[in-house]
Amino acid sequence: MARYPDEWYEELDPLIRPPVRLLHDHNIETVQCCQGGPGHSYEYPTIELTTSGLDANGFIALAILEENGYRVSRVSICWNVQRGLPTERFWQVELLPLEGTTLAEAEGQKEEGA
């Protein structure tokens, strides 16, 4: 996968840039992402990934993110549905909140939201 120029990352939500860049540095292709929270598309930081023949991208991303200090709370394969039929699938990786919280605070926020 070609490395994206620094300017490309400036279009992303500020708090999700570092984990997305980390995945790109490890040749994991992303589809879309959001830092989560009020006014955003997702409640929690979320990164969507392409699927591949082996469909291991989500598990590889989980390992990369966890090894680099990010706390992953959910990894799933999602399907888009058109006319009542599943069409395309993608990985969705949800992180614990990224905004300057300690691990205990982030885990507490996740439990309160459940």
51-62 in b/e form (b: 16+ CB < 10 A) is: beeeeebbebbb
Domains of the chain: which residue ranges?
Answer: 6-113
- Per-residue pLDDT of 54-110, as tens digits, reads 789 999 999 999 999 999 999 999 999 999 999 999 999 999 987 654 444 444 444
Distance, in Å, from the CA atom of 26 to the CA atom of 23, rounded to the nearest integer, reads 5
Give the residue with greater pLDDT, 4 vs 65: 65
Kindly list the distances between the CA atom of residue 105 and the CA atoms of 3, 16, 67, 98, 99, in Å, as whole numbers in the listed order: 34, 18, 20, 11, 10
Q: Would you say how long the chain is, in residues? A: 114
pTM: 0.80
| Residue 52 clears pLDDT 50, i.e. is over it | yes
Residue 75's SS3 state is strand
- Per-residue pLDDT of 40-50, as tens digits, reads 999 999 999 99
Cross-strand bridge partners of residue 13: none
**Pairing mode, strands 30-34 and 46-49:** antiparallel
Residue 112 pLDDT class (50, 70, 90 cuts): low
